[in-house]
C-alpha cells in the first residue's frame, strides 16, 4: 500500500486488446501489477490504481509507455501527468540489463518500463504539452501528407499499367502539368480506358469530357490535340487482352479519383485549421513555406515552446544536424538516421522552395555546393540554418527578416553564379 512521501513510477506494456501495468517505488520494489482492457472501463481501472498509490493533480505519477498516441495515452495525459514514450528498441536494451536469459513477457516489459523512469527519467523526454489546436493540426496535416503519398502511389500504378498497353494515354497526359492526376486526364481515361475506344472518340465527345472536367479555355485546341494523339499509330494487344487491361485501368481511375478528392478535401481542412493558429503568420513569413508545408512543420514541432532546450535540439530532432561517431582513431561526421521522417521530408521541400524565394537561401546553397557538398547535403545544411532561424522567431515572436537571417553578402555569390 502507498505511504506518504514514497515516489511511485508506472510502466505500461501496450497491446491491441489489453495492457499490462506495473508500479514500482524508488527502491525498485514492485508495488502493484494489473492487466487492464483497452476500453473506458480499463482506463478508469488504471486511473483508480494510480490514485490508490498517491496519484494526484499536485503530484501525478509519471508513466512510461511504448507509444505516443491512442486513447490510452489521451486518458493518461489529463492534467499535468508526464507521459514518456519510450522507443521499443531502447526498452529492449533495458530488458537485457535485468536478465541475460532473454526471457520476455508482457508483465515483465511493464516492469522494465517502470524501472526506466526510476533509474533514468532525466535521460528521457516526456510527451510535449502541445495545445489541442496544435494536436488537431497534427492529425490533419499528417492525414493530408498520407493522402498525397497514397495518390502518388496510385498514380505510379496507373502509369505502370498504361505502359503495358496504352502508350497513347501516356503521350497525351504524362508530360502535362499535373500528369495523370489532372481532372481532364482522369475523366477521359474513365471514358476511354482502352486505345481502341480512345481512337473512336469524336471531337464533340472530347470537348464534352473536357468541359465536364472543369476546363474553360482552349477546349477546341485541346480536343484536336487529343484526337491526333489517340489516332496515331501504336502497337496493340489482342482485343480481349486490351479490354481486360481497360477494366483494370477503370478500377485504378476510381481509386485515383478518390485519392485526389481526399487530398484536396484534407488540404482545405488543413488550411482552415492552420490559419487560426497563433504561430501561422510566423511560419508563413519564411521563404518557401506555403500553407501546407508550414502546417506540416508545425504539426511535427508542435507549439510547446519548452519542448526543445535550444535550436540544436530542434535540428537534431529534424535530422538536419550532423552527428559525430568517434571511436579510437576513427572519426566520422555524417547525417542522422534516427529522426522525424515526416519533418525531414517537409524540410527538404521547404529548403528546395526557398532557393527561388530567398536570395540569401540561394546564396547559402550555392556556397555549400562550391565547398564540395552534393545537392542533398547542401539542402540539409540550408534546412539546418532555416530551422535555427525558425526556433529563434518562434521563441521571440518575430517574423522572418531576410537581412538579419543571411548576413553574408549576397551580391558576390550571385555574380559568381551568373
Has residue 63 been placed in a domain? yes
CA distance 275 to 347: 20
Q: Within this chain, do residues 297 and 354 fall inside the same structural domain, yes or no?
A: yes
Has residue 313 been placed in a domain? yes
Q: Which domain holds residue 52?
A: 8-123
Whole-number pLDDT of residue 101? 65
H helix or E strand, kind and range, residue 326? strand 323-327
Q: Within this chain, do residues 35 and 67 fall inside the same structural domain, yes or no?
A: yes
Has residue 105 been placed in a domain? yes
Has residue 412 been placed in a domain? yes
Closest CA to 382 of 397, 398, 363, 401: 363
Has residue 1 been placed in a domain? no
Last residue of a domain, one of 272, 296, 324: 272
Q: Within this chain, do residues 202 and 309 fall inside the same structural domain, yes or no?
A: no
- Within 275-374, residue ranges assigned H as helices are 280-284, 291-301, 311-318, 341-357, 359-370
Q: Within this chain, do residues 203 and 247 fall inside the same structural domain, yes or no?
A: yes
Q: Within this chain, do residues 142 and 247 fall inside the same structural domain, yes or no?
A: yes
Over residues 132-183, the pLDDT tens digits come to 999 999 999 999 999 999 999 999 999 999 999 999 999 999 888 889 999 9
Q: Within this chain, do residues 110 and 172 fall inside the same structural domain, yes or no?
A: no
DSSP conformational letter for 180: G
pLDDT surpasses 70 at 216:
yes
What pLDDT band is residue 414 in, cutting at 50, 70 and 90? Answer: very low
Q: CB of 277 within 8 A of CB of 133? A: yes
DSSP conformational letter for 182: S
Has residue 405 been placed in a domain? yes
Whole-number pLDDT of residue 416? 39
Q: Within this chain, do residues 116 and 191 fall inside the same structural domain, yes or no?
A: no
CA distance 137 to 279: 12
CA distance 93 to 112: 10
Centre a 10 Å sphere on the Cβ of residue 182 and count the other Cβ atoms it contains: 17
Q: Within this chain, do residues 410 and 287 fall inside the same structural domain, yes or no?
A: yes
Q: Within this chain, do residues 179 and 235 fall inside the same structural domain, yes or no?
A: yes
Has residue 306 been placed in a domain? yes
CA distance 165 to 297: 41
List all residues 6 or more positions away from 195 whose beta carbon is below 8 Å from its beta carbon: 165, 166, 167, 168, 169, 230, 234, 236, 242
The dihedral formed by the CA atoms of 341, 289, 141 and 306, expressed in degrees to the nearest 10? 70
Burial of 99 (0-12, 13-18, 19+ CB in 10 A): exposed
Last residue of a domain, one of 272, 298, 324: 272
Over residues 95-115, the pLDDT tens digits come to 877 666 667 788 889 999 999
The mean predicted confidence, pLDDT, of the chain is 90
Q: Within this chain, do residues 354 and 294 fall inside the same structural domain, yes or no?
A: yes
Closest CA to 339 of 317, 314, 315, 313: 317
CA distance 97 to 160: 50
Angle CA 330–336–342, to nearest 5: 175
What pLDDT band is residue 90 in, cutting at 50, 70 and 90? Answer: confident
Has residue 213 been placed in a domain? yes
Please state the φ and ψ torsions of residue 9, each to the nearest 5 degrees: -125, 145
Over residues 304-327, the pLDDT tens digits come to 999 998 999 999 999 998 888 888
Domain count, the chain: 3
Q: Within this chain, do residues 244 and 311 fall inside the same structural domain, yes or no?
A: no
Per-residue CA distances from 30 to 57, 90, 416 (Å): 23, 21, 69
CA distance 197 to 227: 11
Last residue of a domain, one of 123, 149, 180: 123
Closest CA to 14 of 60, 69, 58: 69
Q: Within this chain, do residues 217 and 305 fall inside the same structural domain, yes or no?
A: no
Amino acid at each position: 500500500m502507498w505511504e506518504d512521501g514514497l515516489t511511485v513510477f508506472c510502466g505500461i506494456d501496450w497491446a491491441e486488446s489489453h495492457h499490462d501495468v506495473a508500479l514500482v517505488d524508488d527502491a525498485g520494489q514492485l508495488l502493484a501489477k494489473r492487466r487492464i482492457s483497452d476500453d473506458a472501463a480499463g482506463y478508469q481501472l488504471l486511473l483508480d490504481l494510480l490514485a490508490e498509490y498517491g496519484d494526484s493533480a499536485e503530484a501525478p505519477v509519471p508513466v512510461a509507455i511504448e507509444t505516443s498516441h491512442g486513447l490510452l495515452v489521451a486518458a493518461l495525459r489529463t492534467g499535468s501527468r508526464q507521459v514518456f514514450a519510450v522507443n521499443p528498441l531502447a526498452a529492449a536494451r533495458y530488458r537485457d540489463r535485468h536478465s541475460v536469459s532473454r526471457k520476455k513477457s508482457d508483465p515483465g516489459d511493464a516492469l522494465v518500463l517502470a524501472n526506466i523512469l526510476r533509474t533514468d527519467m532525466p535521460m528521457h523526454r516526456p510527451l510535449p504539452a502541445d495545445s489541442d489546436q496544435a494536436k488537431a493540426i497534427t492529425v490533419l496535416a499528417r492525414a493530408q501528407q498520407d493522402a498525397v503519398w497514397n495518390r502518388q502511389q496510385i498514380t505510379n500504378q496507373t502509369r505502370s499499367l498504361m505502359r503495358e498497353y496504352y502508350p497513347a494515354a501516356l503521350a497525351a497526359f504524362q508530360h502535362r502539368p499535373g500528369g495523370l492526376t489532372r481532372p481532364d486526364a482522369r475523366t477521359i481515361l474513365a471514358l476511354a480506358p482502352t486505345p481502341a475506344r480512345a481512337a473512336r472518340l469524336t471531337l464533340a465527345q472530347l470537348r464534352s469530357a473536357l468541359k465536364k472536367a472543369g476546363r474553360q479555355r482552349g477546349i477546341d485546341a485541346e480536343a484536336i490535340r487529343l484526337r491526333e494523339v489517340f489516332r496515331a499509330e501504336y502497337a496493340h494487344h489482342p482485343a480481349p487482352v486490351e479490354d481486360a487491361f481497360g477494366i483494370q485501368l477503370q478500377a485504378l481511375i476510381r481509386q485515383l479519383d478518390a485519392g485526389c478528392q481526399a487530398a484536396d478535401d484534407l488540404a482545405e481542412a488543413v488550411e482552415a485549421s492552420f490559419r487560426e493558429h497563433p504561430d501561422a503568420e510566423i511560419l508563413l513569413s519564411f521563404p518557401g513555406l506555403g500553407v501546407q508545408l508550414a502546417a506540416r512543420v508545425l504539426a511535427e514541432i508542435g507549439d510547446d515552446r519548452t519542448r526543445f532546450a535550444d535550436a540544436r535540439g530542434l535540428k537534431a530532432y529534424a535530422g538536419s544536424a550532423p552527428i559525430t561517431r568517434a571511436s579510437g582513431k576513427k572519426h566520422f561526421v555524417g547525417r542522422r538516421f534516427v529522426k522525424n521522417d515526416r519533418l525531414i521530408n517537409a524540410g527538404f521541400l521547404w529548403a528546395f522552395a526557398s532557393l527561388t524565394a530567398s536570395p540569401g537561401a540561394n546564396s547559402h546553397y550555392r556556397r555549400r555546393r562550391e565547398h564540395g557538398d552534393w545537392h542533398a547535403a547542401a539542402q540539409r545544411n540550408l534546412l539546418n540554418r532555416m530551422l535555427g532561424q525558425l526556433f529563434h522567431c518562434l521563441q521571440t515572436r518575430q517574423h522572418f527578416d531576410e537581412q538579419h537571417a543571411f548576413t553574408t553578402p549576397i551580391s558576390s555569390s550571385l555574380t559568381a553564379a551568373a
